[in-house]
């Protein structure tokens, strides 16, 4: 009986900060930082100072946090 375990050993260390497009100022200066302990992510624009804190799940990466932020930015939520 082969019981399959979910492998969770894929730990990708990202050292390079990734910057995303800011919906407010239009510059590529947004950075998402995950705080997995608290289940939150902060998305901050280094140019105009736009900032948002959002909830994340374990599966979410920086890009997902950013996408969620963009969603809520445009829907006003």
Residues near Zn ion, by CB under 5 A: 22, 24-25, 45, 47-48, 50
**In this complex, which beta carbon is closest to Zn ion, that of residue 39 or of residue 49?**
49
For Zn ion, the closer of residues 61 and 73 by Cβ is 73
**CB 19 → Zn ion: shortest distance, Å?**
11
Strand ranges across the sheet with 19-20:
19-20, 30-35, 40-45, 51-55
Contact partners, residue 33, CB within 8 Å, separation at least 6: 41, 42, 43, 44, 62
Calpha distance 53→51 (Å, rounded): 7
Q: Quote the least distance from Cβ 47 to Zn ion, whole Å.
A: 4
- Least distance to Zn ion, CB of residue 26, Å: 7
């Amino acid at each position: 009986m082969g019981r399959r375990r979910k492998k969770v050993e894929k730990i990708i260390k990202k050292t390079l900060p990734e910057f995303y497009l800011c919906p407010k100022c239009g510059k590529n200066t947004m950075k998402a930082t995950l705080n997995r302990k608290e289940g939150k992510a902060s998305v901050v624009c280094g140019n105009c100072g736009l900032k948002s804190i959002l909830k994340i799940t374990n599966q979410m990466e920086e890009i997902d946090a950013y996408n969620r932020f963009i969603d809520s930015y445009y829907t006003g939520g």
